[in-house]
Structure 1
């Protein structure tokens, strides 16, 4: 979970920077920094869970004799 939080902080910083540079508006930059990374962080968390489950199945399948 710490990796996910760290990723969220980096992502929010980048989103704010891009939004602010593109629009020059602190409100737009701040809104983008909250909404877009939050959605991506939630998606990333579930993405990681799916990959861990797939990896577990691969390990289990390779350990079971045919």
Structure 2
């Protein structure tokens, strides 16, 4: 979970900076920095869980072959 939270902080910062530089608006930068990374962080969390499950299945299959 720590990995996900640090990713979220980094993502919020990047989203705000890029949006602010493109629009010059702190309000729009702040809105985008809250909405887009929040959604993306949740998606990343579940993506990471699925990825780990797939890696475990792959390892289990390899273990079965070499056993």
What's the C-alpha RMSD, in Å, of the aligned pairs? Answer: 1.2
Match of 1:61 in 2: 61
* Separation in structure 2 between the aligned mates of residue 65 and residue 47 of structure 1, nearest angstrom: 27
Q: Does 1:23 align with 2:23?
A: yes
Output the TM-score relative to the length of structure 2. 0.92
Gaps of 5+ in 1: none
SS at match of 1:64: helix
* Count of residue pairs brought into register by the alignment: 66
Could you list the structure 1 runs, at least 4 aligned residues long, displaced by more than 2 angstroms after superposition: none
Output the TM-score relative to the length of structure 1. 0.93
